Amino acid sequence: MGSRLAVDDLPGSRLVNVEMMRQLHAVYGEWLLKDGCWNFVVDHFKGARMLFLSEGSTHADLVAMTQEDYSLDMNT
């Protein structure tokens, strides 16, 4: 899996590495079609997360991080 870290967990000497990472803000919810208009309804229980991706992160890394952070079981 790709690198996952929180800025607060980094020793001062590693803060430079954060600049090479990209933040991805993810919000859990669903798109609903009502009266011909699409609306995104946020799941306030699951809320939002900030994922940190490095240049080498893959789609599989992103999927795994999201599954873990949102406690998703993709087998159901």
Q: How far is CA 37 from CA 32, 33, 34, 54, 62, in A?
A: 8, 6, 5, 36, 29
- The dihedral through the CA atoms of 61, 9, 28, 76 has a sign that is positive
Residues 60 and 76: their CA atoms lie apart, in Å, by: 18
* pLDDT computed for residue 13 by the predictor: 44
The mean pLDDT of 48-63, rounded to a whole number, is: 86
* pLDDT computed for residue 17 by the predictor: 53
pLDDT digits (tens, 9 = 90+) for 21-50: 888 888 889 999 999 999 999 999 988 888
More confidently predicted of 69 and 44: 44
